[in-house]
Structure 1
């Protein structure tokens, strides 16, 4: 979900709403912890009468009618603990007084997670990727096939990896999230873009389009082989993952042969469209006001504006402050030496905390050693940052380590947020009795892909023919990256854990055949229609793609 395209004042109000919501949830959770100790108990004898055996999952909670007994069930069953940092089933059945309020709390937290995830990507991850591309002097082709999909698809990649490695039998959440996102982007987004610009007669490059679609089709055929076998060994998973580097090689070779044709092409931002009006100062901002009669050029902010801005800044701290003190930003506009020093100091500690939560066995001595080491490293890095940086601006020398640190910490925060998001969706599946693959196919896939709809549609509408080319290319290169890198890396890690045995593919094979089949159908429709229309993006392409997507969605939701 991408909120970066919301207008500034709307984004401000929405951010304030989420910060108030977060403060409400924190206060509610703290108060409820104390009240639960006396009001929300159940005897062991009473619980044993309800369920004599421990379930392998938490689905048995729906068989209990009494709300108090449900609370005792989720507290006593290890399968109800979940993989995240919060126990959402306990919050729903024990902390909240009734189901309606429980749904409200969890849905509100879901919106907050999606917002912080999107905001982390747009405010921290993408700028670090763009700066790294500039410092490393990557060509637009290399950057477009590596950093661009990484910036747009990081959420899907981490969702897939987490669901395969941390969620037991819920690997189908990540599998359906990747495939659902790929289907949404290649059918729904391309369809909307085609219909929106159908009257402009815009065409896309034929060779690039056919290359991307054929490579995507070959990838899906390989995935069908994996699904048909039912398991994948480490070496086949590694080959599947490595196919993306072959794709990059093909793109580079084609780029070398066509390099002379790229002269004079309008430059488009690496990771999205920038509005021409962005950055213009409005009179309503209160920063400056032009008055032709009096000749005044600047009217300084009033005290009311100053204190109101300070108040709003404080309200925004719950969502922004934890990331601001751990993710370094080295741009001229947002540089701050105190924040940079805190990032250098606290980032190693956050990494240590994350590492200590990933293992299944908790070793106190090992955890203590990791924390002490991270604190020592943090003190050294913080001291270096304090001594060798200036208040006036970001460092000119040794800029690469700062950018690499921002890139790494952006990934860490994305991983933490997606891990919690996947855990929450699994809890929703247990509460509602919905297959978690459906949630991965819809909620998680839509949430992670709605930003692609906004950014690609914006590029197509405002960027002319070149913008449309970038938008359509991104609609195929992005899902290809998510499938080969996100799903491929997940299969590599999962099969490595089972080595030398193969990793059994989770989920219902019939459902996987269905989504891959519809996805191939959408790609074939585009591959046939576009060349027939001389590569013009028109309504026939868009309507056909939307029909394929909604037909699949209807069949899947009806069957449950």
Structure 2
């Protein structure tokens, strides 16, 4: 259990601190719109633990139930506990069209999975259909956003025309000019206040040490021991990941360029890729039976690192700095995949020891472990005044997890075995799981429009009670109290 908790921490750190920033940098470099980036790269970043866990679980027929249980269990957890918690903390009126769109697509994905479970086999066309449905969802998001922006633009144009025809009415442009001029008169004062008295440039050694320090001392002083204790336990792991995974942050002025550390990454990152790919299968591989592959990778990395160090400066990133985001994306994805495989193996072992089915382990431990981070993030967004964004993340993220988790996991397994996937016969618990998820979606699809798309605290309590009842029924079914006659 301690090792399982440690692995979940690794999954969370690798996804949030390394995988997501590099994905954001890639989407910024490619100049993708917020809608496209949100439903593609960023959705993949947020759902990486679920997707890689599903791929690892589908690699063996006897653990496929773990993937189904985790994806369905996470769906119920997010649509009831997370959505209910958001409603409790911040009652609000939901955006109607995005909500109905997401619920309809998710119900289609759940129904498709239900039919596949009923048949017990997954063929190539059905696996491709999952990915195809997600492509349709992405295009729907883009088209609906385009139509909304066109309508908003035409409305603003009409308002500006009406405003300009009314005499003695100050325009918004003049207000903006006043604000901008006042800001420009203030900014130089702050610049002079914080400009160093003497010119100062950090040494290469100091840059390396500060780059490997994940603790912000100013933030540390303002936090309580409840924040400091987990941070102290995670710090050694963060330092190790900082040594292995480059991060390109588009929100920073220098895009997080750290010359000595980034040069070191050209040595460590390829070695980590070899050690984690296919569970380290190629770590002991020798070229023509004599020259170790790891030594060749190390020498090539050392050569590239020396070239970068001699041709760059500490204070300005090179033109090819964005390529490090791609490198960080690849190595963090391989790390997450390796950790997810270990999580699946460990949960399967726990199921054998505790005499629990893969389905119940998936809908409890694996679903909670992968979704608890999303739960805290969405609740925090709601408390900060962004409940609509939080509820959109609830439904948009699990659509990606379901479609890509099953679709990509099945395709990877079919590529390895060249045959269709046979699922083990499903018991009563799986049908309760699928039925409960379908019922929660149908209830949301019916009740929320009847409430004029207003999520109140009463509805939040109803969703939490729904999850508690589902969990009790699932546990009673697992231990045989509830069974078919």
The interval holding the TM-score normalised by the smaller chain is 0.7 to 0.9
Q: 1:413 and 1:362 mapped to 2: Cα distance?
A: 18
Mapped to 1, the partners of 2:420 and 2:282 lie a distance apart of 22
Q: Which residue does 1:32 correspond to in 2? A: none
Q: Distance in 2 between matches of 1:557 and 1:314?
A: 36
Alignment pair present for 1:522 and 2:440: yes
Residues 387 and 160 of structure 1, relative CA distance in 2, 3 Å threshold: same
Cα 1:230–1:378, aligned 2, differ >3 Å: closer, same or farther?
same
Cα gap change, 1:491 to 1:462, in 2 (>3 Å) = same
Of 348, 352, 357, the residue aligned with 1:430 is 352
Matched, 1:208 2:126: no
8 A contact 1:241–1:492 mirrored in 2: no
What whole-Å deviation, never above 9, does each CA across 1:165-203 have from its counterpart, x for those lacking one?
2x45112212211111111111211111112223xxx21
Matched, 1:129 2:23: yes
**Are the counterparts in 2 of residues 234 and 496 from structure 1 also a CA contact under 8 Å?**
no
Aligned to 1:383: 306
Map of 1:487 onto structure 2: 406
Cα deviation, 1:304-363, whole Å, max 9, x if unaligned, reads xx9x999x9999774233312221123448543222111111211221222363659986
Aligned equivalent of 1:99 = none
2:371 is aligned with 1:449? yes
Is 1:401 aligned to 2:298, yes or no? Answer: no
2:33 is matched with 139
CA contact (8 A) 1:237 1:495 kept: no
Which SS does the other structure have where 2:58 is aligned? helix
Conservation of the 8 A alpha-carbon contact between 2:53 and 2:340: yes
Residues 540 and 366 from structure 1, CA distance in 2 versus in 1: closer, same or farther, beyond 3 angstroms? Answer: farther
Query: What's the CA shift string for 1:442-466, capped at 9, x where partnerless?
Result: 1111011011111111111212xxx
What TM-score do you get using the length of structure 2 for normalisation?
0.76
In the alignment, the residues of structure 1 paired with residue 348 and residue 255 of structure 2 have an alpha-carbon distance, to the nearest angstrom, of 40
Q: Deviations over 1:229-255 (max 9, x none)?
A: 110111221112221111101111111
Is residue 2:60 matched to residue 1:154? no
1:165-314 aligned at under 5 Å gives the runs 165=59, 167=60, 169-198=62-91, 202-260=92-150
Question: 1-side partners of 2:113 and 2:431: how far apart?
Answer: 10
Indicate the residue corresponding to 1:392 in structure 2: 315
Tell me the residue number matched to 1:108: 2
Indicate the residue corresponding to 1:476 in structure 2: 395
Query: Could you report, residue by residue, the CA deviation over 1:252-292 in whole angstroms, capped at 9, with x for unpaired residues?
Result: 11111111456799xxxxxxxxxxxxxxxxxxxxxxxxxxx
Residue ranges of structure 2 left out of the alignment (5+ in a row) = 157-209, 218-227, 479-485
Structure 1 spans left out of the alignment, 5+ residues: 1-106, 266-305
Contact 1:348 1:377 in 2 (8 A): no
Matches within 5 A, 1:457-472: 457-463=379-385, 467-472=386-391
Q: How does 1:352-363 map to 2 (within 5 A)?
A: 352-355=274-277, 357=279
Quick one: distance in 2 between partners of 1:473 and 1:229? Answer: 32
Where does 1:36-51 land on structure 2 (aligned, <5 Å)? none
CA RMSD between the two structures:
3.0
Query: How far has the Cα of 1:408 moved from its partner?
Result: 1.5
| Distance of aligned partners of 1:537 and 1:337 in 2 relative to their CA distance in 1, 3 Å threshold | same
Match of 1:119 in 2: 13
Aligned pairs, how many? Answer: 404
Q: Does residue 346 in structure 1 map to residue 268 in structure 2?
A: yes
Higher relative contact order (CA 8 A, sep 6+): 2
Equivalent-residue separation in structure 2 for 1:175 and 1:146 (angstroms): 22
